Structure 1
Amino acid sequence: MTAHVIADDAEAVAVATSLADEFRRGAAARDAERRLPRQEVDRLAASGLLAVTVPAEYGGADVTAETLAEVFRLLGSADASLAQIPQSHFAYVQVIRRQGSVDQRKFFFAELLAGRRFGNAQSEAGTRHVQDIRTRLRPEPDGSYVLDGVKNYCTGALFADWIPVLARAEEDRLHVAYVPRDAPGVTVVDDWDGMGQRTTASGTVRLDGVPVPADRVLPHHLTFEGPQLHGALAQLLHAAIDAGIAGAALDEAVGFVRTKSRPWFEGGYETAAEDPLLIQRFGELALRVRAGEALLREAARAVDAARDELTDDSAAEASIAVAAAKVQAADAAVEVAGALFEVSGTRSALDSLNLHRYWRDARTHTLHDPTRWKVQHIGRYVLGGIRPPRHGLL
C-alpha cells in the first residue's frame, strides 16, 4: 500500500482532527454491533499518521510528544477503541528508534512511511504478573531464532502487517521480535470479549515454531539499562485516550441536556439547562476534564524536554508528569462517563442510544496499569526524591 507522508506537527493535528470527525459518525454503531474498524484502520494508515514519529533523517515528521498526545486525544474523543489500536504501534516504533541498528531503522522506517502497521504481542495471561514473560526466542546455529509462546490482549495484531512480540532470549533477557502477521506459525484469534473497548480486537496470538531472522530481533532489555522514555511515552498515549473519552462524554452530556432533557418540576425552570444544580454539576465535570487535558499537555512537554536532554533526572520528571496525567485523566474519564446519565436523566439510559459505551470504554481502558501505583510513585518522588523505576509501564 501507499500512504501520505505528513510533513510536520501542524499537519498531523489537522489530519487527526479530520479523521476524528469522520470516525465519530460511526462509532456508536461499530460498538453496538461489534463491527471491527478495518476500513477505519486502513484510512488511519493511509493518512500517514502512523508514521509521524519516524525521525526526520529517515523522511518522517518526527513530531513532538505534545503533538502525538493531541492526536490520540482527538482520536479517543471520536472512538476510544479505534484510538487504542495504534497505541502499541507507537511504543514499538520507539524501540526501533532506540535499539535498532542503522539497517533495521532504514528497513522499518521505510515500512512505516509506506503505511505498514505494527500490532503487539506483549501480555500473557496466567503468569505471576505482567512482567513474567514466558514466550521464548530460541537461538538457532545460523544466528536466527525460533519463537514459541501464547500472547493475550494483543491490541492491533488482527489489523497489523508486523507483530512486535515481547520474548525472552539468551540469559532470559527481553527482546522484541518483529514478525510478519502472515508468518508461518503465527495465529491471530479474535477472541476479545471485553465489556468496553469492544472493537480493539485485543485477542490472542499463538506462536508455534515461528522462524525469525536475526535482523528482525532487537535487544529491548537495553532500553531499561539507562534513562529511558519508553514507558512515559506509552503511558502518555493511554492518558490521552482517557482524556479523549472524558471530553467526549462531557460533550455528549451537554448536547443531551440542552436538547433532550426535561427540567425537574420542583425547580420551576423552562429548560433543564437552567437548573442551578445541573449547572453546578457541569462546572465540576468541566473542571475534571480541563485538569486532565492540562496535565496531559504538561506531561507531553516534560517528555519532549527529556528527549532533548535525556538524563536520569529528566526521565524521572517525565515519568512522574505522565503518571499524574494518567491518574487525572483516568479518574475524569470514569467519573464524567458515569455522570453523563446522572445529569441527562432516565432517557439517556436507553440501550438504543448506546451512551453507555463511554463508561464501558473508560472503565475498561483505565484498567491498564493501576493508577494506585502511579500515585505511590508520585508520593515517593515528592516526599523522598525517589526516582520511579525503569520499566515500560510508568
Structure 2
Amino acid sequence: MPTVPVLTDAAEAVAVAAALAARFRLHAAHRDAERRLPQAELAELSASGLLAVTVPREHGGAGLGARALGDVIRLLSAADASIGQLPQNHFFFVEVLKENGTSEQQAFFYAQLLTGARFGNALAEKGTRHALEFATRLVERPEGRFLLDGVKNYATGALFADWIPVFALGADDRLTAAFVPADAPGVSVVDDWDGFGQRTTASGTVRFERVVVPEDRVVPHHLTFDRPEVFGAYGQFIHAAVDTGIARGALEEGGELIRTLARPWGEAGVEKASEEPLVVQKFGELALLVRSAEALLEKAGDAIDTARRDPADPEAATEASLAVAAARAQADTAAVTVSSDVLALIGTRGASRELGFDRHWRNARTHTLHDPRRWKIQHLGDHALNGVTPPANGIV
C-alpha cells in the first residue's frame, strides 16, 4: 500500500477531517441520487491517516480518545452521512482488539491500520429473535483452526474492507470476534442494501461458508463484559456523532437554500425569506437543537475518556453510558427534526430532486433506526428515578 501519514494529535486529525469533508460535500447529493459508491473517497480517507488515529501511541498511532474521534466522525457525516457512517465499525473493532486482543494480535493489526487498511463488519443477523442474538458459529477444529459459518446482514463497510471482523458464537455459546480477510475462501459479500437512506454505505449481506480462521485471528470478546466497561458506550457514541453530523449538515445546507432560493411569505412584508421573522425564529429553534446535540456529544466523549483513565471505576463507566445515551437520544431528535422541518422554511423549491436536500431526512431516518431512542430514554429515566445502572450489553 502507499505510504500513509501518521497523524499525531487531535488538532491535526480534525484539520484533516475538515479538509476531506469539504471535498466530500461537493458531490454528496449526486452520489446519493445515483447510488454511486464512494470508492475513491474511501481510498482518500485511508490515505489520509484518519483510520489509524485511535491506534495507541505505543504502537505508532495518535492514540486519540473518544472526544476527538467524535469530532472527526461528526465532520465527515455533515458532509456525507454515508461516508461518516462507514468507519463506525472500523473504529469499533479497533476497540475490540484493545479490549481483549493479545499483544501479537494488536501489533499485527495496528501495523495494518497504519498503512491504511480498513475494517468492515459482520455483526447483525436478520433471522434471530432480536439484535443481541446470533446464530453464526465459530467451531474449533484440530491444529489451532476454527471453521466459521453464517450469514450476516447490514454489514456496513464490508464491501470496501480489507478485513471483515465477525461476531460469532464460540465454545459454550460465548461471544467471539473473528478477523477474516475479505478475500478469504468461503467469504462472499453481496451488495444488496436497498435502504432509502444511507444509500452508499453498501450495508448488504456477507456469507461465510466453512471459512477457515486461524487461532491467532480470534478474540474472546465476551471477556469485555466481565468487568466495568465503556465498550458499548463507545460504539453508540460514534453513532451519535453520525446523527449529530447529519443534523449540522442539514442545518447549514438548509440555511444556504433559505438565503438563496426561498421566497418570503407575502404577508411578511420583507424582501428575503431569511428576513422573515417566523423563519428566523424557527431556524433558531433548529439551531438550538443542533447545538444541544453537539454539546451532549462533547460531554459524552469526555465521559468515555474519563472512564478509560480508571477502567476499574464502575461509577465512571455508568456515567459514560448515561452521557452517551443522552447524546444518542438528542442526536436522533436533532437529525430527524432539522432535516424535516427546515424544508418548510425553504418552501416548495426544497422538494426538487435536483437539489437532493431530501437525502438529509432519508439519511437521518435510516441511521436512527439502528437502535431505538426509546431505550436510551428508558435507561436515563430508570437511573434518574430508581438508581438502576444501564446493562452491560454492548449497546449502552
Fold match (TM-score > 0.5):
yes
Q: Find the aligned partners of 2:263 and 2:103 in 1 and give their Cα distance.
A: 63
Residues 1:22 and 2:23 are matched in the alignment: yes
1:34 aligned residue = 35
1:355 equivalent among 354, 357, 367: 357
1:1-394 superposed matches below 5 A: 1-2=1-2, 3-310=4-311, 311-394=313-396
**Following TM superposition, by how much is the alpha carbon of 1:258 offset from its aligned partner in structure 2, in angstroms?**
0.9
- Contact kept, 8 Å, 1:166 with 1:174, in 2: the verdict is yes
Count of residue pairs the alignment pairs up: 394
One-letter amino acid of the counterpart of residue 74, structure 2? R
**Following TM superposition, by how much is the alpha carbon of 1:8 offset from its aligned partner in structure 2, in angstroms?**
1.2
- Contact kept, 8 Å, 1:75 with 1:83, in 2: the verdict is yes
Q: Find the aligned partners of 2:133 and 2:64 in 1 and give their Cα distance.
A: 33
Deviation by residue 1:41-64 (Cα, 9 ceiling, x = unmatched):
111111010000001100010012
Q: Find the aligned partners of 1:25 and 1:267 in 2 and give their Cα distance.
A: 34
Q: Find the aligned partners of 2:372 and 2:120 in 1 and give their Cα distance.
A: 23
Q: Find the aligned partners of 1:252 and 1:102 in 2 and give their Cα distance.
A: 46
Worse-matched range after superposition: 249-258 or 170-179 = 249-258
Deviation by residue 1:160-190 (Cα, 9 ceiling, x = unmatched):
0000000001000000000000000000000
Look up the SS of the partner of 2:197 in the other structure.
Answer: coil
- Contact kept, 8 Å, 2:293 with 2:327, in 1: the verdict is yes
- Contact kept, 8 Å, 2:293 with 2:334, in 1: the verdict is yes
Q: Find the aligned partners of 1:20 and 1:391 in 2 and give their Cα distance.
A: 33
Look up the SS of the partner of 1:206 in the other structure.
Answer: strand
**Following TM superposition, by how much is the alpha carbon of 1:318 offset from its aligned partner in structure 2, in angstroms?**
0.2
TM superposition outliers: structure 1 runs of 4+ over 2 Å = none
Q: Find the aligned partners of 1:154 and 1:111 in 2 and give their Cα distance.
A: 21
**Following TM superposition, by how much is the alpha carbon of 1:369 offset from its aligned partner in structure 2, in angstroms?**
1.0
Q: Find the aligned partners of 2:112 and 2:45 in 1 and give their Cα distance.
A: 15
Look up the SS of the partner of 1:6 in the other structure.
Answer: coil
**Following TM superposition, by how much is the alpha carbon of 1:143 offset from its aligned partner in structure 2, in angstroms?**
2.1
Look up the SS of the partner of 1:352 in the other structure.
Answer: coil
Q: Find the aligned partners of 1:274 and 1:37 in 2 and give their Cα distance.
A: 38
- Contact kept, 8 Å, 2:283 with 2:342, in 1: the verdict is no
Look up the SS of the partner of 2:267 in the other structure.
Answer: helix
Q: Find the aligned partners of 2:306 and 2:184 in 1 and give their Cα distance.
A: 39
Percentage identity across aligned positions? 58
Q: Find the aligned partners of 2:86 and 2:13 in 1 and give their Cα distance.
A: 18
Q: Find the aligned partners of 1:366 and 1:99 in 2 and give their Cα distance.
A: 29
Q: Find the aligned partners of 1:53 and 1:273 in 2 and give their Cα distance.
A: 42
Deviation by residue 1:12-60 (Cα, 9 ceiling, x = unmatched):
1111010000110110010000000001011111101000000110001
Q: Find the aligned partners of 1:125 and 1:216 in 2 and give their Cα distance.
A: 25
Deviation by residue 1:66-86 (Cα, 9 ceiling, x = unmatched):
100000000010000011111
**Following TM superposition, by how much is the alpha carbon of 1:262 offset from its aligned partner in structure 2, in angstroms?**
1.0
One-letter amino acid of the counterpart of residue 358, structure 1? H
**Following TM superposition, by how much is the alpha carbon of 1:393 offset from its aligned partner in structure 2, in angstroms?**
1.0
One-letter amino acid of the counterpart of residue 46, structure 1? A
**Following TM superposition, by how much is the alpha carbon of 1:295 offset from its aligned partner in structure 2, in angstroms?**
0.4
**Following TM superposition, by how much is the alpha carbon of 1:331 offset from its aligned partner in structure 2, in angstroms?**
0.4
One-letter amino acid of the counterpart of residue 393, structure 1? I
Look up the SS of the partner of 2:209 in the other structure.
Answer: strand
Look up the SS of the partner of 1:137 in the other structure.
Answer: strand
**Following TM superposition, by how much is the alpha carbon of 1:309 offset from its aligned partner in structure 2, in angstroms?**
1.1
One-letter amino acid of the counterpart of residue 299, structure 1? A
One-letter amino acid of the counterpart of residue 285, structure 1? L
Look up the SS of the partner of 1:176 in the other structure.
Answer: strand
- Contact kept, 8 Å, 1:252 with 1:340, in 2: the verdict is no
Look up the SS of the partner of 2:376 in the other structure.
Answer: helix
Look up the SS of the partner of 1:187 in the other structure.
Answer: strand
- Contact kept, 8 Å, 1:119 with 1:163, in 2: the verdict is yes
One-letter amino acid of the counterpart of residue 161, structure 1? D
Q: Find the aligned partners of 1:6 and 1:375 in 2 and give their Cα distance.
A: 37
One-letter amino acid of the counterpart of residue 282, structure 2? R
Root-mean-square deviation (CA, aligned residues, Å) is 0.7
One-letter amino acid of the counterpart of residue 125, structure 2? E
Look up the SS of the partner of 2:354 in the other structure.
Answer: helix
